[in-house]
Amino acid sequence: MAGDPAAVNVPAPPTETTHGVLRSALVRWDTALLVVLAAVVVVAGVLVEGFASGRNFQFLLLDVVAIALIALPLTLIVITGEIDLSVASTLGLCSAVMGQLWVAGLPLELVVVLVVGLGAVLGAVNAVFVTKFALPSLAVTIGTLAAYRGLAFVVLGDQAVADFPFRWTDAASSTVADGAVPWAAVVTIVLAVVFGVVLHATPFGRSLYAMGNNAEAATFAGIRVARAKFWLFVASGAVSGLAGVYWTLRFASARADNAAGLELAVVAAVLLGGVSIFGGRGTLLGVLLGVLLLGAVRNALQLADVAADTLNIVTGGLLIASVVVPNVVAMSRTRLRRRPRHPA
């Protein structure tokens, strides 16, 4: 069970029935997402004017970068059975602090490092509450969701810092070789590979699934559950801080209310990507496909002049369908399987 990602495609031996079923289900979910995503791209490319252009592709990627970044560590956290709802508030507080530090005259290189460090510290605060005091992460991070956003307003009030140098703000949306792929997306993909390797190809990654399935059993198996979760929350904070830097530069504006409410969009993307909210199940590839699917649908409908707020119906519907459909299929399948044995 070294967990080579390529091994997922190998059919499981028949003895490992539950594992085999689980694995092929996962593969099918990722495949299904890919098929749906491809269908959306093709249909939108044909029907929606302006969708299939390099420029739109660039904007689509720029729009999903922040969600994709935050979704990476969050995927690992949800797989362990925890959750971090404070990510968007961490982003907002980091953005506000970035603005104040820049106003105070610090060089931006240093500011970026400090802000990512601040994100890590904020994540560590969550981690201490969750791992040292053994409090439920859902409640803790609802608390820090409010606290961090509140501190962001304390730091920056309702003002905006918008005088960042053009060199930096342009960099946030610049593309590789002036094509359609933004550098920010490249950074995201590199980080995604790192997180993907950690999750799917290291003992540490395998242990995350174990603790998500049964934390107690994982502890008895010698896995240091608290320590692993601690560092995941720190990573979540640091990456949210990085997303804060990106958000601030991309929109050339440090504001306390930056990305308010984004936590729900990120959680929606992670769950749509096939990660079980109870932990123990999910792949990073699925989550990235989920992020892209939500982004592509929103982008296409926006181009088709559907009001942005109405799009919420689609987001909500996709999220509900993503959990209800597999469940109903599984339930009816077990019913079918039982029928021959227990004729009514």
Close Cβ partners of 337 (under 8 Å, ≥ 6 residues apart): none
Given 67, 71, 115, 145, the residue binding other proteins (CB under 8 A): 145
Nearer to other proteins (CB atom), residue 227 or residue 278:
278
Provide the 3-class DSSP secondary structure of residue 206.
helix
DSSP string computed for 289-323 = HHHHHHHHHHHHHHHTT--TTTTHHHHHHHHHHHH
- The CA-to-CA distance between both ends of the chain, in Å, stands at 41
Residue 103 binds other proteins, judged by CB under 8 A: no
Residue 129 binds other proteins, judged by CB under 8 A: yes
Number of residues that bind other proteins (CB under 8 A): 49
- The CB-of-323 to other proteins minimum distance in angstroms stands at 5
The tokens describing 220, both together, are 């008895």
Cβ atoms of 141 and 126 closer than 8 Å: yes
Residue 332 binds other proteins, judged by CB under 8 A: no
Cβ atoms of 248 and 81 closer than 8 Å: no
Residue 217 binds other proteins, judged by CB under 8 A: no
Beta pairing class for 160-161 and 254-255: antiparallel
Residue 313 binds other proteins, judged by CB under 8 A: yes
Nearer to other proteins (CB atom), residue 109 or residue 309:
309
Nearer to other proteins (CB atom), residue 88 or residue 242:
88
Window 154 to 173, contacts with other proteins (CB under 8 A)? 154, 157-158
- The CB-of-83 to other proteins minimum distance in angstroms stands at 8
- The CB-of-237 to other proteins minimum distance in angstroms stands at 15
- The CB-of-136 to other proteins minimum distance in angstroms stands at 5
Span from 20-28, 60-68, 137-145, 221-229 in contact with other proteins (CB under 8 A)? 137-145
- Neighbouring CB atoms inside 10 A of 81's CB total 22
- The CB-of-156 to other proteins minimum distance in angstroms stands at 9
Window 275 to 304, contacts with other proteins (CB under 8 A)? 277-278
Given 35, 110, 146, 194, the residue binding other proteins (CB under 8 A): 146
Residues pairing with 160 in the sheet:
255
Q: What is the torsion angle, in degrees rounded to the nearest 10, for the CA atoms of residue 321, residue 325, residue 327 and residue 328?
A: 130
Report the alpha-carbon distance of residue 257 to residue 259 in Å, rounded: 6
Q: DSSP 3-state helix, strand, coil percentages of the chain (rounded to 5)?
A: 75, 0, 25
Report the alpha-carbon distance of residue 230 to residue 28 in Å, rounded: 32
Close Cβ partners of 258 (under 8 Å, ≥ 6 residues apart): 91, 92, 95, 96, 244, 247, 248, 251
Given 49, 105, 133, 222, the residue binding other proteins (CB under 8 A): 133
Given 202, 320, 332, 338, the residue binding other proteins (CB under 8 A): 320
- The CB-of-85 to other proteins minimum distance in angstroms stands at 8
- The CB-of-263 to other proteins minimum distance in angstroms stands at 10
The position carrying tokens 């990510």 is: 87
Cβ atoms of 147 and 92 closer than 8 Å: no
Residue 271 binds other proteins, judged by CB under 8 A: yes
Residue 143 binds other proteins, judged by CB under 8 A: yes
- The CB-of-322 to other proteins minimum distance in angstroms stands at 8
Residues in touch with other proteins (CB under 8 A) = 129, 133-136, 138-140, 142-151, 153-154, 157-158, 216, 256, 260-261, 264, 267-268, 271, 277-278, 307, 309-317, 319-320, 323-324, 327-328, 331
